[in-house]
Amino acid sequence: MKEPLKRYDEIRAASRELNTELFRMLGKSEMTLAGRQLGLVKKNQFLLESEEEFDQFTDYAICDFYNKEGKNAAERYLALMEGEIGEIETAYLNGLLDSWGSLFEVIGLGDNPGEVLLQDLLHEDRQIVLTDKGFSASSEALMNSCLLYSRVLVVEGLCMTSGAPKLFKKDAKEMLLLKYIGRMKKVPFGNEQTKQSVAFHKLHGTYGHHQIEYR
């Protein structure tokens, strides 16, 4: 078996190409609707101010936006390309289908390079060991001042994020836990995971941390 970080790099490289293909599964009207769900479209124009915001929107559009048949882009692509894509791509897509989004707190470093320990704040009995070079490189800053909302998936035993996380101010922890359910109730579409993603997107406008860059 390959070293975890080497395999992580291979999976990450494959996922970047695959995410581009998944995004292309969406028609123009679907992209616009997904943008409207997040409040990112006005007068049919997208209001994306940074590459990070675009990455976060792409992650939402791929995983949390469902078409009229109740399928997201990952499900549609896997059904279309099953048997025609490689082992890594298949494992990544299956990981996306079993993934979950949550609010996390960095509580330490893992035993191996590139590993970070996260406490799932929405599921108190769940701690995970995340493999992510970006998080591990920024772990001290994240531990001291940030929480993060991200989608997490497991691919070949490696726990990783699906895309760019949303960073929140750590001192807003109690407020976020108090407010997110109420925000979810205001979302008139989608399943519980979609409602949760929209809720934390909205909360990010007020409680987001914009001084620390995720690398």
pLDDT in tens, 70-122: 999 999 999 999 889 999 999 999 999 999 999 999 888 888 888 889 999 99
Distance CA 37, CA 39 (A): 6
pLDDT above 80 for 172: yes
pLDDT value for 200: 97
Domain architecture of the chain: domains with CATH: 4-97 (no CATH), 100-207 (2.40.50)
pLDDT value for 49: 79
pLDDT value for 96: 94
- Report the first-to-last Cα separation within the chain, whole angstroms: 27
Share of the chain above pLDDT 90, in %: 67
Angle at 93 (CA atoms; ends 2, 8), nearest 5 degrees: 25
Q: How many CB atoms lie within 10 A of CB 134?
A: 17
SS (H, E, C) 24-78: HCCCHHHHHHHHHHCCCEECCEECCCCHHHHHHHHHHHHHCCCCCCCCCHHHHHH
Contact 37, 15 (CB under 8 A): no
Q: Is the pTM higher than 0.75?
A: yes
Which residues are within 8 A (CB) of 123 and not within 5 positions of it... i.e. 6 or more apart?
Answer: 102
For helices 4-24 and 51-63, angle between their N-to-C axes, nearest 10 degrees = 80
